[in-house]
Structure 1
Amino acid sequence: MSTHNDVVIGSGGLVITMHPDRQPGIAAIRAHDVLWGTASSPLFRIDLGDQVVTALTPSVRLTDIQQTHDGAGMQYTTFSYDTPQRIQITQTFKTYAGTHLLEAGVSVINRSNAAVTIHRIDTLVIDIPTGSYESIGYSGGWGSEFEPKAQRLIGDVVWQTRSGRSSHGMHPWVGLTRDQRALLSVSVVWSGNWIIRADEQPGGGYQLSAGLNDWAFHTTLAPGATTDAPAVVAVFGANPSLDDNAAAYAAVGRSHWYPKNTLSTALPVEWNHWWTYEDRAITEQTFRANVDVAAQMGMEVCALDAGWFGPSDPGTHWYDYRGDWHIVNTTRFPSGIRALSDYVHAKGMAFGLWCEIEALGVRAEAGLTNPAIVARRDDTPCGYVCLASDAGWAWAFATLDRLITDYRADWIKLDFNLDPGAGCNRTDHGHGAGDGLHGHYQGYYRLLTAIRAKHPEVVLENCSSGGLRIDLGIAQQTHMAFLSDPDWPEHSLQLFWGASSMLAPDAILHWGFCEWGFADHPQQTFDPTSAAVTATQLDYYTRISMLHRFGFSQGLPTLLPWIRDRYVQHIDIYKTVVRRFVRTAQLHRLTNQPRRDGTLDRYAGFQYIDQSVGDMLVALFRLPGAKPKRRFWLQGIDPLRSYRCTWLGDNRVAIIPGAVIAAGWMFDDLGEPGSALIHIETLPQD
């Protein structure tokens, strides 16, 4: 082995120590005084044929260590390993100043003269100490995203997705609390099939591994070929606080991961046509009428969802023609899409357009005339464009480029309404029979990177049947994630509580309680034209959607005048006060997670603290069935100071001693349901 000095990775709270000349692997991973990774940690795992290779494999040789800094708080450490078969393995560790977050990556290069087959790649494998472990995580399905799943770890446990979409099955985030004293969370940075394992060890503790799901996967590397595994993020907590753990994801996301441009950073208020009109009632005239009202109300983006493309025959269904983005439904839009875009721009707003760029409907001309782009499994079409293929990638890039350029689109909503499962197994697509889905998502990331490079000021929204592909991989390529198709209040609060475990509020979009004009759902009953709606109800519905990026999907011309006026007030409050907190503040949960079925916590509370200014925003919600009184324990309150508390939208201001708030702020005047949005400012000392 080459001679290597002791290596220290990280600084401050998170420290990883290694003694390469004395022992392979790591010496320890610590978050302050809490031990998380032990010296028996394999660090990675790669199954080469019938051989399992890790950093601790005796025949594996550590050949090089490099450390650099990016000047913005990131330390980058690279370890190079060689096997006797001349396979080079590179593992990277990224750590970020001020956080306990580690981002690991693995690349494999075949330096031999013969092909090798890999059946499994675990990007990060660590042994965690003996203790009593409880896991928290979230299952994901249509309209049931971020459903809490908790269990005590007994024996081996596996969390995974096999649907081909990262959060259809389970969301790619798992937390482990040891002895109720410290929280470790792990997230696979991947939009396809992933897996996290906790294997109980004979001597106690667990071996925790995470990475690409090895189900239906293998990849064959020709001589000189390389494969990159999905990154894995781990946050090593020194305490059991989910808020502190989530703050690391938000801080690194904002500073290093999330794409930014002028429009996305503004957090514009959006209107989207979908739920009121779907593809059945949307027309050029209807869209223009809504644009007129949106401009008057102070909205900043108007988005045209599905229904704009495909044949003009009313007997056709848009789902069958996904892929034919060059065809405009001229029955509905006789002036074309560019005319609508120009109309929106003339009103001083940005124009958004929906597109399911990966999908291929069964009747789509695009797939019939370009068979080389079609993903197939065992010769059966999978319903999507294989972006691992050169032809598919080039077609998708040209299509998105044309839509943005020809229609002057400022915002593209990227949807994906199918489960690709194990993916394409064609062998003429630039991938092998066992790694088609892996190649597709690598191609999708490259596609979005290329689109952002050519159109840097265009906003990209991530949507997938609502929230079935939410992960840190797609979060590094798009400006926001849409959480779910349904949006009734309890559902929306449950979603935000869960999603903010891994995403900052400014990386999240969900609309207020929408007006469902055609789809049938037992909870989607809001009618903004009804005289039965009260101001208390409307505020409760709307303030929930102000917790993150803010938008509407309602018929604007038919709103009752008082409802329209109240929305205008909420929009102004969001612009002038709230979105600054959404953009930069640290989020704290003041309650446990409410559930959409009426169980768990029947209050929801969130506190945003803007350290740069020193003020706070508190959002409180009393759900149906809640008791009339609730005490909330805020963070960062100085009992020796006084605070100006402004109830936004409620014409109420009070000066409250910090001692009163710090002792547990009692609320007994919220309606059922009801809400309060309170701006808290620290008063100068006398």
Structure 2
Amino acid sequence: MSPLILSAAGAALLLDTGGQGLPRVRHFGAGLGPVAGPDLLPALAAPAVPLLPAQGDSWYGRPGLSGSRTGEHWPVRWTLDRLDAEATPGAGGTVTIAASDPRAGLELVSELAMDAGGLVTMRHTVTNTAATPYRLEGLTCALPVPERAAELLDFTGRWALEKVPQRRAFGHGVWSRENRRGRTGHDATGLLVAGTEAFGCRSGEVWAVHAGWSGDHVHYAERVHEGVALLAAGELLEPGEIILAQGESYRTPQVYFTWSGAGLDDASARLHAHLRAGRALPVRPVTLNNWEATYFDHGLDRLLELADKAAAAGIERFVLDDGWFRHRRHDRAGLGDWYVDEQVWPDGLHPLADHVRKLGMQFGLWFEPEMVNPDSDLIREHPDWILGRAERMPPPQRHQQTLDLARPEAYDYLLERLDTLVAEYALDYIKWDHNRDIAEPVHDGVPGVHAQTLATYRLLDELRRRHPGLEIESCSSGGARIDYGILARTDRVWTSDSNDALDRQAIQRWTGLLVPPERMGSHVGAPHDHVTGRSLPLAFRAGTALFGHMGVEWDLTSASESDLEELATWIALHKRLRPVLHAGNVVRADHPDPSALLHGVVLPERGVFGFVQLTSRVGSGAAPLRLPGLDPAALYEVRVAGPVPDGAAMPEWAATPVRLPGSALGELGLPAPALRPTSVLVIEVVKVAGCDMRSHADF
């Protein structure tokens, strides 16, 4: 029987559909060219991995499906009932597989798709067909990786220092990253990557998996001694969380698989393209958030002055953060009481909102809908709405508990309050926060994270349905809820609670593997950072924020006139470069100097690069700036785009625009400037119209 092949953008997924059971995956990786016919599969050396690995398919690693029934146990052996496929060579396609095991009392539907960018998505649905309940313990999605995938990369972190990379050898056994925090987590891996030895951003072959789920989740890599390895991910279920009665089903989150033959950048580009294709975003307005400027001080005159300064600097959206609702003079009370505090705002928020709009800015508001303070009118009236056992309060964090959104009355209350406030103030934007891990979640006597996550999704979906123009940011004490489940419902993520630009360089670099720049909130913080205490120059803070969804979180009323002028210059530069920064392919050079970074965003006609000197370099000479991602056959005009950093020793090319072919810029590079630590140089390249170096043999 001929294999089933999905192919697009140089990637391919090959399914062996012969036999009575589930198809086996024989290959996920580089495109295979015009191969077909019954002779292909016997000739392939690649081992086969069952679509849902199980011992009945001679897989002795971690099973893809695990569960039990009281009093009897039948290992699952699937019989293929139906396979529907639509595949267009070079353009991807879809596969839907239905299978069953009457003895085990289960049915399965597996859905696979490859998009035009070569990204593979997968999800499974299992249904209990027997009269006895089925206790589902786990259901994950997996694809194989070849033996040459010798290293693993994943990410850890903490509050205000997310996405810290860690690498290790991909040996025998399971490397599992499990999250039980009730949200994606500061330490969430985001992407679990397997790759050839010493792979980098622009080199090596890599495979990666991501679970698009905002609750408890698992990502794992496994290699068995038979020579087979795989990557897998899915929801992490607690015992008793999913018990299927006859006819009931469970559907996994969407799981994303990406491959690249040219390092992490290409794998990342496939993810970015998929996310961008899902929903077109309007121009991303430069945003001011008042949190680090005023905290809980909501004096109207002070906020009006802050809005004036923001508008004068070119800011396009003003967001009022925590502190506007009843009893919220500190973080120990008021969460859940979503009414404008009449004591602080006797005329409501209208005086501020109207003033902001007269200045030409949008108006947004902060909420933390899923959390409550026990010291709140809501919980005094409804103590049973807390997610947990009524007999014992869960451990507190940040003076907060979690509101049980799966309880219809709590859900209805939140929807009514949010809907009313969005309508009354014609809100353009919501910053949706989630500031604690969920501990001991119990809903109706069973573990409650699954139901809580789905209820949150429903709430977001319904709010957007009622207010189609509303934009929503996912914040979770910084970057603790960044995944494709929440990004399907929001427009932006708050990357970290740290605005320290030095830490932000790494946080944004690695978060950006999953999230494109236009969806990564990146703010210019205060001169003296509120989290780390580090003092950094404005040019470095602004040059770091430039490469994301730019914003400001700084008390501009305390800034000098020269600082305000410099900030306005950077904001104007961001607006000019925004069409590239928020639409192009992100590139990260494998720069040989560990004291510096070189990254950029490239479109066919233009590119923007940032050369970042993090610390003092060891050598007296600097490595050249080899600009990645450019068309080698095109001629480019190269210029310095932003302010020249203080104290920089600039090379000759920086004095006036020069013209060089993409091949030379990528292979030989530009002479690097000598920059002081914590400096950014912004470089712009523009393709020269009508110049194609393919006609010049010397190049």
Shorter-chain TM-score bucket reads 0.7 to 0.9
1:150 partnered with 2:164: no
1:324 corresponding residue in structure 2: 337
1:614-667 deviation per Cα after TM superposition (whole angstroms, max 9, x unaligned): 111111111232356231211244666543223223385411323653412221
Q: Residues 153 and 21 (structure 1 numbering): CA distance in 2 closer, same or farther, change over 3 Å?
A: closer
Residue 116 of structure 2 corresponds to residue 97 of structure 1: yes
Tell me which amino acid in the other structure corresponds to 1:630. A
Secondary structure of 2:469's match?
coil
Shift of 1:415: 0.4
CA distance in 1, matches of 2:532, 2:8: 51
Structure 2 residue matching 1:345: 3-state secondary structure: helix
Per the alignment, residue 550 of structure 1 pairs with: 550
Equivalents in 1 of 2:513, 2:87: separation in Å?
27
Shift of 1:405: 0.9
Tell me the TM-score normalised to structure 2 length: 0.85
Partner of 2:253: 230
Name the residue aligned to 2:533. 523
Q: Does the CA-based 8 Å contact 1:139-1:170 persist in structure 2? A: yes
1:249 is aligned to 2:271: yes
Q: Percent identity?
A: 20
Aligned equivalent of 1:438, options 450, 465, 472: 450
Distance in 2 of aligned mates of 1:378 and 1:20 = 51
* Matching of residues 612-627 of structure 1 within 5 Å: 614-627=605-618
Shift of 1:33: 5.5
Deviation at 1:238, TM superposition (A): 2.9
Distance 1:371 1:603, change over 3 A: same
Is the contact between residue 173 and residue 187 of structure 1 (CA under 8 Å) also seen in structure 2? yes
1:217/1:460 Cα in 2 relative to 1: closer, same or farther (>3 Å)? Answer: farther
Once residues 522 and 608 of structure 1 are traced to their aligned partners in structure 2, the CA distance between those partners, rounded to angstroms, is 29
Q: What residue in structure 2 maps to residue 589 of structure 1?
A: 588
Computed over aligned residues only, the root mean square deviation of the Cα atoms, in angstroms, reads 2.9
Query: Relative to structure 2, which stretch is displaced further, 486-495 or 331-340?
Result: 331-340
Which residue matches 1:509?
Answer: 521
Match for 2:659: what amino acid? Answer: I
Residues 1:607 and 2:587 aligned together: no
- Give the partner amino acid of 1:498: W
- 1:115-264 mapped onto 2 (5 Å cutoff): 115-122=133-140, 124-131=141-148, 133-156=150-173, 157-180=175-198, 181-216=204-239, 218-239=241-262, 241-256=263-278, 259-261=279-281
CA distances 1:505-540 after superposition (whole Å, capped 9, x unpaired) = 1121121233569x5x443445xxxxxxxxxx3222
Question: 2:360 and 2:290 mapped to 1: Cα distance?
Answer: 18
- Which residue identity does 1:584 align to in structure 2? A
Alignment partner of 1:376: what SS?
coil
Question: Do the aligned partners of residues 638 and 322 (structure 1) sit closer, same or farther apart at CA in structure 2, a change above 3 Å counting?
Answer: closer
Query: Deviation per CA, 1:6-36, whole angstroms, max 9, x where unpaired?
Result: 5333445233233434364225123225899
Larger CA deviation: 387-396 vs 351-360: 387-396
Task: Give the letter aligned to residue 650 of structure 1.
Answer: P
Q: Is the 8 A contact 1:28 1:36 kept in 2?
A: no
1:232-311 equivalences under 5 Å are 232-239=255-262, 241-256=263-278, 259-261=279-281, 265-279=282-296, 281-311=297-327
Matches within 5 A, 1:335-484: 335-371=347-383, 373-377=385-389, 379-382=391-394, 383-421=401-439, 423-427=441-445, 433-434=446-447, 436-484=448-496
Inter-partner Cα distance in structure 2 for 1:222 and 1:640: 62
Deviation at 1:678, TM superposition (A): 1.6
* TM-score under structure 1 length normalisation: 0.87
* Count of residues paired in the alignment: 640
User: Which segment is superposed worse, 487-496 or 206-215?
Assistant: 206-215
Task: Tell me what 2:498 maps to.
Answer: 486
Distance between the aligned counterparts of 1:68 and 1:161, measured in 2? 35
Note if contact 2:269-2:586 (Cα within 8 Å) is conserved in structure 1.
yes
> Alignment partner of 2:557: what SS?
coil
Name the CA shift for 1:22/1:121 in 2 (closer, same or farther; >3 Å): closer
Q: Distance in 1 between matches of 2:641 and 2:98?
A: 56
Would you say 1:646 and 2:639 are equivalent positions? Answer: yes
Q: Which runs of 5+ in 1 are unaligned?
A: 428-432, 527-536, 594-599
Relative to 1, partners in 2 of residues 1:120 and 1:153: Cα closer, same or farther, differing over 3 Å? same
User: Following TM superposition, by how much is the alpha carbon of 1:58 offset from its aligned partner in structure 2, in angstroms?
Assistant: 6.7
CA distance in 2, matches of 1:330, 1:395: 20
Give the C-alpha shift of residue 217 in structure 1: 5.7
Q: Deviations over 1:180-220 (max 9, x none)?
A: 54211111111111112223312123243321124556311
The answer to whether the 8 A contact 1:260-1:479 is kept is: no
| Partner residue, 1:43 | 52
Separation (CA, whole Å) in 1 of partners of 2:78 and 2:52: 13
- Counterpart residue identity of residue 227, structure 2: G
Find the aligned partners of 2:50 and 2:519 in 1 and give their Cα distance. Answer: 33
Match status 1:661 vs 2:665: yes
Find the counterpart in structure 2 of residue 534 from structure 1: none
Say if 1:414 and 1:463, in contact at 8 Å, map to a contact too. Answer: yes
Mark the CA change 1:79 to 1:510 in structure 2 (over 3 Å): closer, same or farther.
same
What is the CA distance between 1:365 and its match in structure 2? 1.6
CA distance in 2, matches of 1:325, 1:636: 48
> Structure 1 654/79 Cα, relative in aligned 2: closer, same or farther at 3 Å?
same
**Partners of 2:46 and 2:365 in 1: CA distance:** 46
Residue pair 1:275, 1:516 contacting (<8 A) in 2 also: no
Asked whether the equivalents of residues 29 and 36 of structure 1 are also in contact (C-alpha less than 8 Å), the reply is no
1:28 aligns with 2:21: no
Contact 2:208–2:231 at 8 Å: present in 1 too?
A: no
Bigger CA drift: 222-231 or 241-250? 222-231
Provide Cα deviations, 1:93-149, integer angstroms capped at 9, x if missing partner.
1211132x1111111222333322111111x13343334521111102101201111
The 3 A distance-change label for structure 1 pair 204 and 515 is same
Instruction: Name the counterpart of 2:568.
Output: 568
Residues in 1 aligned to 2:9 and 2:29: alpha-carbon distance in whole angstroms: 9
Distance in 1 separating the partners of 2:464 and 2:46: 38
Residues 60-89 of structure 1, C-alpha deviation per residue, up to 9 Å, x if partnerless? 11112223589x967332111112143221
Q: Assess, with a 3 A threshold, how the Cα gap between structure 1 residues 402 and 643 changes in structure 2: closer, same or farther.
A: same
Whether contact under 8 Å (1:608, 1:618) holds in the other structure is yes
Runs of 4+ in 1 over 4 A off after TM superposition: 33-37, 636-642
* Residue identity opposite 2:134 in structure 1: V
Residue 695 (structure 2) aligns with: none
Residue 375 of structure 1: how far off its partner (Å)? 1.0
